[in-house]
A and B are shown apart, each in its own frame.
Chain A
Amino acid sequence: QAVLTQPASLSASPGASASLTCTLRSGINVGTYRIYWYQQKPGSPPQFLLRYKSDSDKQQGSGVPSRFSGSKDASANAGILLISGLQSEDEADYYCMTWHSNAYVFGTGTKVTVL
Chain B
Amino acid sequence: EVQLVESGGGLVQPGRSLRLSCAASGFTFDGYAMHWVRQPPGKGLEWVSSINWKSDSVGYADSVKGRFTISRDNAKNSLYLQMSSLRTEDTAFYYCAKAFSYDFWSGLNYWGQGTLVTVSS
Contacts and interface: CB of A to CB of B under 8 A. Distances in A.
Interface string B37-63: 100000011110010000000010110
B108 A109 contact: no
Contacts of B50: 104
Interface size class of A (residues with CB under 8 A): 20 to 34
Contact of A106 (B45, B109, B112): B45
Nearest to A102: B59
Consensus secondary structure, chain B interface = strand
Interface string A100-115: 0011111111000000
A106 B46 contact: yes
B47 A106 contact: yes
A52 B92 CA distance: 29
Contact of B44 (A95, A102, A103, A104): A95
Interface stretch (A23-31, A43-51, A73-81, A84-92): A43-51
B113 interface: yes
Contacts of A68: none
Contacts of B59: 102-103
B109 to A, nearest CB: 5
B47 A105 contact: yes
A97 to B, nearest CB: 8
A36 B112 CA distance: 18
Given A51-B107, A99-B105, A103-B47, 16 more contacts: A36-B107, A36-B108, A38-B45, A44-B113, A45-B114, A46-B45, A47-B111, A48-B110, A97-B45, A97-B107, A102-B59, A103-B62, A104-B37, A104-B47, A105-B47, A106-B47
15 contacts: A36-B108, A38-B45, A45-B111, A46-B45, A46-B111, A48-B108, A48-B109, A48-B110, A97-B45, A97-B47, A97-B107, A104-B47, A104-B50, A106-B44, A109-B44
Interface of B: 35, 37, 44-47, 50, 59, 61-62, 95, 105, 107-114
